[in-house]
A and B are shown apart, each in its own frame.
Chain A
Amino acid sequence: MALVMQNIDIQVGGVAHLDDINLTFRRGGLYTVLGRTLAGKTTLLRTIAGLQQPQKGALTLHGKDYINLPVWKRRVAMVYQQFINYPHLNVLANVVFPLKRAGVPRAEARQQAREVLAKVGLAEFEKRRPAALSGGQQQRVALARALVKRAEILLLDEPLVNLDYKLREQLREEFQNIFEGQGDAIVIYTTTEPAEAIQLGHEMIVMDEGTVIQQGNPLAVFNAPVTIRCAEVINDPPMNIFRGTIEKGDIRLRGGVRLPVPAHMAQMPEGPYRFGLRAADLSIGGVIESKVELSEISGSQTILHLRGDIGAFIFYEDGVYQHSIGDTVPVDLNSDRIYSFSVEGDLIAAPAATDEQWR
């Protein structure tokens, strides 16, 4: 019993928006789709909703053809990244609308709508028009309208992206409870933020340029990205990638940097590789001299964009520090946390998973 996509292709004007997509979504599962903008996430959801027709491939729900079922006959709910509500209806009527279309009696529909509105914290706003609500409240109305249908498939397309930081954090926490109450619905949630995808999903699908590049348990994907492309998408800031070689028991990077080969890479033969290191796995005070190109302060972290003989990289420093552009900062690489990839970009060795909080 599942929603199955097989060899789905969608091209618009000669550009592939979805390229040979094969995915299975099981009932009761909460799937997060992680990818940068233009990765094909929205197209994926629109295809499932029936708003876009694939040129090729099969889509089935519980073994029955789904592609030829028109949108209004699919039991799908969707929340857009823009807050879409019916402007001529008040909040309650907005939420009642899909139930009315489904033939639920008026009194019952109103009661169900009120329950869902209470759940999303909009109980006292039912008489207002959407235009008289804040952005966060408008998105809650849209969410309520999607939840009230108890659809078989619940699609959320970057629902938090247009909200401010605080509200995003708050709603993200509430989502976990809200989705628990959806029973055996298939919930698919797209986002550009790795943290969101890892925190919410039972299963994470990483997309890039219209293809699925990795799929699996969110932490497993985070701990062992199969390619450099995936490692870049699932880390924010993206994982630093250095070119280098393993020679005579040393990792040799550009600029004469040498590191001892860590245990998890001991079996690797000598030769050229690409090495990955998360921005958080560097530390201040080492032998690698680098110049500050950009310094951003985000919440309680400082993100430094550095450049040295070793190449350009990003360093995530806990705490707020003031660095001027052009300053020289000595850094150290934590070789125990180094990922190694082949020159083509495939993962060869990953450090052991830690309980350390992902970023």
Chain B
Amino acid sequence: MKTTYLLLKYLAILLWSSFVALPFLWALTTSFKTANGVTGGATYIPWLQYEPSLEGWKVLVRTGGQGIDIVAPYISSVVVTLSASLISLALGTLAAYGLSRFSYRLGFVKNSDITFFFISQRIMPPIVLAIPFFLMLQFLGLLDTIAGLILVYVALLLPIATWVMVDFFNNVPSEIDEMAMIDGCNPIEAFVRVILPNSLPGIAVGGLFCIIFGWNDFFFAFTLTFTKTQLLPVAVVALNSSVTPWWSLSASALVSVAPLVIIAFVVERFLSSGNMAGAIR
């Protein structure tokens, strides 16, 4: 009975893993193919079924002429995603601490309403924001610039960062803040010296969310840029033209997913360890 259950369990896990992993495998094999390899029917095993070629990868870093050059969009994407995530996390953490520890009131508006207002920014479909963002960036002269994109992404990521951190701080007992104040910290010192060092798991989760959302966004990267600035998702999709170089498309797709996979592995360790154990009984 138990063996059957275990078998079924592993079978289910295996099926799901293949479902997730096979597209990557497909992209991986395709990236080493040439035009003939792609059009010549389904082949999976290099050297046996097709002759692997590095051409799909090489063109990614070649500029001009036949080159595709995803290096520039890659750098732009890293700059935009990291800047926007850092700014959002910094502002979001401060806002969340305030929302978690102090009571604000303006008429009938109270803390939970403010928190909801933050997250409500992500409830509406992004298309609603496209034209306002476009007009605002136009007014600021920041259309088609890295700075403009950072600004827009901060607006998109800040609610996520704030929401994650509010939830985290609500689970940190306020007695710890009080203890820090009794031990001689003013409220800012209590936050910086005691609460922040103990908030790494929350910051890791918030940061992970920000980076995933920022890195993967196609919609705003597409609508708010034209020629000067291009982010990675747009650059990858742009390869899909009249004559699609499937090998380069696959290679660039893999390259753009890689950082998220690495970050997920790193952050996962923060999530499972180092919580508030030992703070309070």
Kindly state the separation between the CA atoms of A130 and B279 in the bound complex, as whole angstroms: 7
Contact, CB under 8 Å: B178 / A98 = no
Q: Which residue of A has the minimal Cβ distance to B179?
A: A84
The reply to whether A72 and B185 contact each other, CB–CB distance below 8 Å, is: yes
In the assembled complex, the Cα of A102 lies from the Cα of B189 at a distance in Å of: 13
**Contact present for A87 and B185 (CB under 8 Å):** no
Is there an interface contact between A78 and B179, defined as CB atoms closer than 8 Å? yes
Asked if residues B198 and A138 are in contact (CB atoms below 8 Å), the reply is: no
Per-residue A-contact encoding for B239-281, CB less than 8 Å = 1, 0 else: 0000000000000000000000000000000000000111111
The reply to whether A70 and B186 form a contact with Cβ atoms under 8 Å apart is: yes
Residues of the B chain whose Cβ atoms lie less than 8 Å from the Cβ of A133: 278
B residues less than 8 Å from A130 (CB atoms): 278-279
Closest residue on chain B to residue A151 by CB atoms? B182
Contacts of B278 in A (CB 8 A): 85, 87, 129-133, 138
Q: Are B197 and A88 in contact (CB under 8 A)?
A: yes
Asked if B176 CB lies within 8 Å of chain A CBs, one says yes
Cα A149 to Cα B185 in complex, Å, equals: 14
A295 within 8 A of B: no
Cβ of B194 within 8 Å of any chain A Cβ, yes or no, is yes
Are A87 and B281 in contact (CB-based, < 8 A)? Answer: no
> B183 and A145: CB pair below 8 A?
yes
A162 within 8 A of B: yes
Interface centre among A78, A88, A138, A145 (most CB of B within 10 A): A88
Given contacts A49-B182, A72-B185, contact A80 B175 (CB under 8 A): yes
Residue B181 CB within 8 A of the other chain: yes
B279 A72 Cβ-Cβ under 8 A: no
State whether the Cβ of A339 lies closer than 8 Å to any Cβ in chain B.
no
Which residues of chain B are near A84, meaning CB under 8 Å? Answer: 173, 175-176, 179, 279-280
Known: A71-B182, A102-B184, A138-B281. A87 touches B276 (CB 8 A): yes
Determine whether the beta carbon of A80 is less than 8 Å from that of B179. yes
Identify which of residues 160-192 in chain B touch chain A, using a CB-to-CB cut-off of 8 Å: 173, 175-176, 178-186, 189
A101 interface residue per 8 A CB criterion? yes
List chain B residues, Cβ under 8 A from A86. Answer: 176, 179-180, 194, 198, 279
Complex Cα spacing A135 to B280, Å: 10
Cβ-closest chain B residue relative to A101: B184
Task: Write out the residue numbers on chain A whose beta carbons fall within 8 Å of the beta carbon of B173.
Answer: 82, 84
Number of A positions contacting B (CB below 8 A): 31
* A315 at interface, CB cutoff 8 A: no
CB neighbors of A among B54-102 (8 A): none
| Inter-chain contacts of B176 with A (CB < 8 A) | 84, 86
Q: How far is the CA of A145 from the CA of B184 in the complex (A)?
A: 12
Residue of A nearest to B190 (CB): A72
Tell me the number of A-to-B contacts counted with CB atoms below 8 Å: 73
Q: How far is the CA of A342 from the CA of B179 in the complex (A)?
A: 46
Cβ distance B79 to chain A, nearest Cβ, rounded Å: 32
* Pair A83/B280 contact, Cβ less than 8 Å: yes
Q: How far is the CB of A277 from chain B (nearest CB, A)?
A: 39
Interface residues of B in 179-236 (CB under 8 A from A): 179-186, 189, 194, 197-198
Bound CA–CA A162/B189 (angstroms): 30
Verify A88–B175 contact, CB threshold 8 A. Answer: no
Which residues from B are CB-within-8-Å of A74? 182
Query: Which residues of A in the span 61-91 have a Cβ within 8 Å of any Cβ on B?
Result: 70-72, 74, 76-78, 80, 82-88
Q: Is A51 an interface residue (CB 8 A)?
A: yes
Tell me whether A31 is interfacial, beta carbon within 8 Å: no
**B253: min CB distance to chain A, Å:** 40
Given contacts A88-B198, A138-B278, A162-B281, contact A82 B175 (CB under 8 A): yes
Chain B CB within 10 A, most for which of A76, A77, A78, A86: A86
Nearest chain A CB to B13's CB is how many angstroms away? 32
Residues from chain A with a CB closer than 8 A to the CB of B183 are 72, 97-98, 101, 145, 149
* Alpha-carbon separation in the docked complex, A30 to B151 (Å): 60
CB-CB < 8 A to A72: which residues of B? 181-186, 189
Q: Which of A190-205 contact B (CB under 8 A)?
A: none
- How far apart are the CA atoms of A149 and B279 in the complex, in Å? 20
Which single member of A76, A82, A83, A87 contacts B182 (CB below 8 Å)?
A76
Which residue of chain A lies nearest to B197 when distances are taken between CB atoms in the complex?
A: A88
Whether B277 pairs with A98 at a CB distance below 8 angstroms is no
For B173, B181, B277, the residue with the greatest tally of chain A CB atoms inside 10 Å of its CB is B181
Do A87 and B179 have beta carbons less than 8 Å apart? no
Interface centre among A74, A76, A87, A101 (most CB of B within 10 A): A87
| Distance of A51 Cα from B197 Cα, bound (Å) | 23
Q: In the complex, are the beta carbons of A87 and B175 less than 8 A apart? A: no
The reply to whether B182 and A77 contact each other, CB–CB distance below 8 Å, is: yes
Q: Chain A contacts of B179 at CB under 8 A?
A: 78, 80, 84, 86
Bound complex: CA A193 to CA B116 (Å): 45
Query: CB-CB < 8 A to B182: which residues of A?
Result: 49, 51, 71-72, 74, 76-78
Closest Cβ–Cβ distance, residue A296 to chain B (whole Å): 26
CB contacts (< 8 Å) of A85 on chain B: these are 278-279
Q: Cβ of B198 and Cβ of A87 under 8 Å apart? A: yes
Q: Nearest residue in B to A162 (C-beta to C-beta)?
A: B281
Alpha-carbon distance A326/B276, docked complex (angstroms)? 50
Give complex CA distance A97, B184 in Å.
9
Give the distance in Å from the alpha carbon of A291 to the alpha carbon of B111 in the complex: 57
Chain B neighbourhood of A87, CB < 8 A: 198, 276-279
Chain B residues near A51 (CB-CB < 8 A): 178, 181-182
Given contacts A72-B183, A88-B197, A132-B278, 5 further A-B contacts (CB under 8 A): A51-B182, A83-B281, A85-B278, A86-B179, A87-B198
10 A–B contacts from the bound complex (CB under 8 Å): A74-B182, A76-B182, A78-B182, A84-B279, A84-B280, A85-B279, A87-B276, A97-B183, A98-B184, A138-B278
Q: Which 4 A-B pairs rank lowest in CB-CB distance, beginning with the nearest?
A: A131-B278, A101-B184, A130-B278, A98-B183
List residues of B whose CB falls within 8 A of some A CB: 173, 175-176, 178-186, 189, 194, 197-198, 276-281
